[in-house]
Amino acid sequence: MVEIAPFNVPLPRRAQTLSVFLWASFLPICLTLFLLCLTIPVLWPLLIIYLIWSYFDKAPRTGSRKSEWVRRLPLWRWFVDFFPLRVIKEAELDPKHNYLFGYHPHGIIAVGAWGTFGTEGANISQLFPGLNIRLLTLDSNFNVPFYRDLLMAFGLASVARKSCNNILQKGPGNSCMIVVGGASESLTAFPGTFNLILKRRYGFVKVAMRNGARLVPVLAFGETDVYDQVKSKPGTWLHWIQHKIQAIFGFTTPIVIGRGIFIYDFGALPHRRPIHVVVGKPIEVKQMDNPTNEDAQVYHEQYMAQLQEIFDKYKDVYAPDRQSDLKFIE
């Protein structure tokens, strides 16, 4: 039977669900608003100016236009409490240095990364005072009218290498958060699993080395639990279509099952399942102008070893019902 939300749900829980619904609706709201503006001829000159300006706008690659007011809205405290989402830090981070955070696993849409680093819902600036951490996302997201400006208000920037360099070179404390696994990893995101696509990903390590930024591994327990996913086996048409979309657009479309606002069994919203984000210890790297994969491998191995250490330390506390242990699958 379909489980329907009761009428007597406490007001705080309704507010939490509302915040998650608004977050999930950002893109369709922005697209709808833009299409509505297109139906009003008097707005066409303004839209043309806006689109031209957006094309030449460099802000997505510089990390500018962050609004602390937007990030600190009560809405995001409700968002964090929905799951709930909690942050555990393994070490203090000196604001005299720059840091490149790597978030794992990607899950379906990196919900924990958004709640922790895209907003102040988890009080990240109080946990790491003096750091200006920018969550990075696909460059293509900044091609969507209005949506691009909303993302920048939350402090998000492009994950392009040039963007990382610009941010890390702004001065002490300026740091980046990259969801390293990317779209490919989302296809492996099943509840209770920790499958990381990391073995051959040296790019983020080399970015840290070029800029003298310290690497900080971040492991989120529960990230893969908030959505269920239909498994696509290699050789099936669904598997072929998903990888084709990824090759063309840079992202993929896993078939997910979440919950709705009034129905708990299916929908587009994530389930209420706890997420614990463990921020590891910084790894100091040697600054180099043009590091090779061999140069990066030393720090890459340290990084993977610390992820394994974090997992082993907290797996029985935050993932006692896991289906598998931490796996570096690619």
DSSP string, 217-284: EEEEETGGGSSEE----TTSHHHHHHHHHHHHHS-----EE-B-SSBSSSSSBPP---EEEEE---B-
How many angstroms from the chain centroid is the CA of residue 18?
20
Query: At residue 98, what is the residue type?
Result: N
Tens-binned pLDDT, residue by residue, of the chain (330 aa): 677 777 788 999 999 999 999 999 999 999 999 999 999 999 999 999 999 999 999 999 988 899 999 999 999 999 999 999 999 999 999 999 999 999 999 999 999 999 999 999 999 999 999 999 999 999 999 999 999 999 999 999 999 999 999 999 999 999 999 999 987 888 889 999 999 999 999 999 999 999 999 999 999 999 999 999 887 767 777 767 777 777 766 666 777 889 988 888 888 899 999 999 999 999 999 999 999 999 999 999 999 999 999 999 999 999 999 999 999 988
Of 19, 11, 85, 71, the C-alpha closest to 269 is 19
Sheet containing strand 214-221, strands side by side:
85-89, 275-279, 214-221, 99-104, 174-179, 132-137, 157-158
- pTM exceeds 0.85, yes or no: yes
Residue 1 has what pLDDT?
63
Cβ neighbours of residue 94 closer than 8 Å, sequence gap 6 or more: none
Length of the chain: 330
Distance of alpha carbon 48 from alpha carbon 103, whole angstroms: 37
